[in-house]
Amino acid sequence: MKTMELSIIVAYAVAMIAIGLFCRKKAASSVSGFWAADSSVPIVVNMFCLLATVMSGGGMMGNIGLAAASGISYIMAANLGSGAGLGVGALVVAKPLKKSGAKTVSQFIQMRFDNKTVGFLVPAVILVAYTLYLVAQMKAAGTVGEYVIGVNFNVALVITWFIFTLYVMFGGMWAVTWTDFFQGVLMMLVTVVAAIVTLSHFGGYGSLVSAATAAYPNMGVMHLPLSSYAGFFYLWVFIGLCSPHILMRVTSAKSPFAASVSLHSGMILITVFSALTSIVLGMGSRAVIGTEAITNNDAAFLYLIDEIFGPFWRGLTGAAIYSAIMSTAAGLLLAAAAALSNDIIARIHPMEERRQTRMGSICIVIISVVVLCFSFNPPEFITILYSQAMAFMVSALMVPMLAGLWWKRATSMGALLSIIGGGVSYAILYFGFTMPTFSQIFVSLPISLACMAAGSYMTPAPSDEIIKMVEGWHKD
């Protein structure tokens, strides 16, 4: 076991739990405090929270591993899409969603369309997608523990699971916000330092490119079907428009303006972070590994830090990777618990606010236990795993989300058919046909859109009250 690395990671874990306990009282005071941090998060805090939320364990490990194994073109398509998604989200989602007053995506769609079946389908889609996303984060946690501090994969998995479950259960969105902020700062610091040291180690960018391409000739080549690159890019653009764990940052902002600026600022941070991890650290990892085949491609970055860093920076890098894992896992867990607690259980059995926050904590534990059970034997390439889960969610929810915000004629029947058509068509294409990775969304999203239009025009227009409500979201 590596003592220095272990000591730094333990200190980091204790700090995260302490933040959760410190936020416990504020989170328990109201439903708004638990799920949306009382809509009072400053812009600078929110922008680093967005970095930590979007660039998950996949961002610091899966992306680098994918770059080392498949070249930088493929993963850069996704990373550029994730930054662009926040920029587009700032323009078309932030203001009307914030003005709607909804605290979660499920709550917004339910409020806009007022349909019981829609009200249950939306959280069900979120639960399925986020369970798979969380499994990917757990794999990253186990891998870091195994390679960085020398503990068993499953032991590292359980310890990480316990830590983030504890602070989310106690502190809700308040704890998620402040842990995400510190985690985002640490992630950016370590990434910048690692990129500088990597360039210095190889003697500059030109030498790094030469070493990486010598080990893997397709490093900078688009050698996959074009639809795979396009699908990966647009998928992550669309995730920024409808993903609950990202849009929770909109509802936690102080104002529509603050929400929009937070998304734009997060876009800049994510673009810089993506370029450093995917290009510099991805190529550096491939150059260190050489032509050798490794058993776990998601551990490629860990080979690099063993080469360029001493024990202290290896420990700090391990803490940064855990930051990436826990920040995203915490946001996903909170969003999934909100879907189960607020949008399913509270609709069946209405309850007062204090009981609702307690139910939220219980749901957090239930979902995290389910995730842990699925995490002991995960598949390879965590970035691909969670991106496929998000593709299913985008296919089902993006059209109802955007139509609800912008199209006054959209009806509950249109939303219902859109969710079913988009989600089911994606599942059929993914499991039933051989298609280039992520190209399924170019079929499932048009189907979802056609279902929304057909269902809306086949049924009476929404009431005057709903139309006025939608118009109010777009007034200054």
Question: Length of the chain, please?
Answer: 476
Please tell me the predicted confidence (pLDDT) of residue 2: 65
* Confidence grade of residue 426 (pLDDT, cut at 50, 70, 90): very high
Q: Can you tell me which residue has the tokens 């220095």?
A: 4
Q: What is the pTM of this model?
A: 0.79
Please tell me the predicted confidence (pLDDT) of residue 137: 74
Q: Can you tell me which residue has the tokens 């202290």?
A: 312
- From 203-212, 242-251, 429-438, the region with the lowest mean pLDDT: 242-251
22-63 pLDDT per residue, tens: 777 776 666 666 666 677 788 888 888 888 777 766 667 778
Please tell me the predicted confidence (pLDDT) of residue 325: 74
212-245 pLDDT per residue, tens: 999 888 888 887 888 888 998 999 899 888 888 7
Please tell me the predicted confidence (pLDDT) of residue 407: 95
- From 30-39, 52-61, 264-273, 401-410, the region with the lowest mean pLDDT: 30-39
Of all residues in the chain, what percent carry a pLDDT higher than 70? 91
Mean pLDDT of 261-283: 88
Please tell me the predicted confidence (pLDDT) of residue 447: 98
141-162 pLDDT per residue, tens: 777 777 666 777 788 778 877 8
Mean pLDDT of 367-390: 73
Mean pLDDT of 273-287: 90
More confident site: 112 or 2: 112
Cα 247 from Cα 203, distance rounded (Å): 41
Please tell me the predicted confidence (pLDDT) of residue 27: 64
More confident site: 61 or 107: 107
pLDDT at residue 330 tops 80: no
189-208 pLDDT per residue, tens: 888 999 999 999 999 999 99
CA angle 62, 65, 67 (to 5 degrees): 110
- From 18-27, 302-311, 361-370, the region with the lowest mean pLDDT: 18-27
More confident site: 83 or 169: 83
pLDDT at residue 381 tops 60: no
Please tell me the predicted confidence (pLDDT) of residue 465: 92
More confident site: 405 or 218: 405
* Confidence grade of residue 420 (pLDDT, cut at 50, 70, 90): very high
pLDDT averaged over every residue in the chain: 83
Please tell me the predicted confidence (pLDDT) of residue 29: 65
pLDDT at residue 132 tops 90: no
Please tell me the predicted confidence (pLDDT) of residue 195: 93
- Among the ranges 237-241, 336-340, 347-351, 408-412, which has the highest mean pLDDT value? 408-412
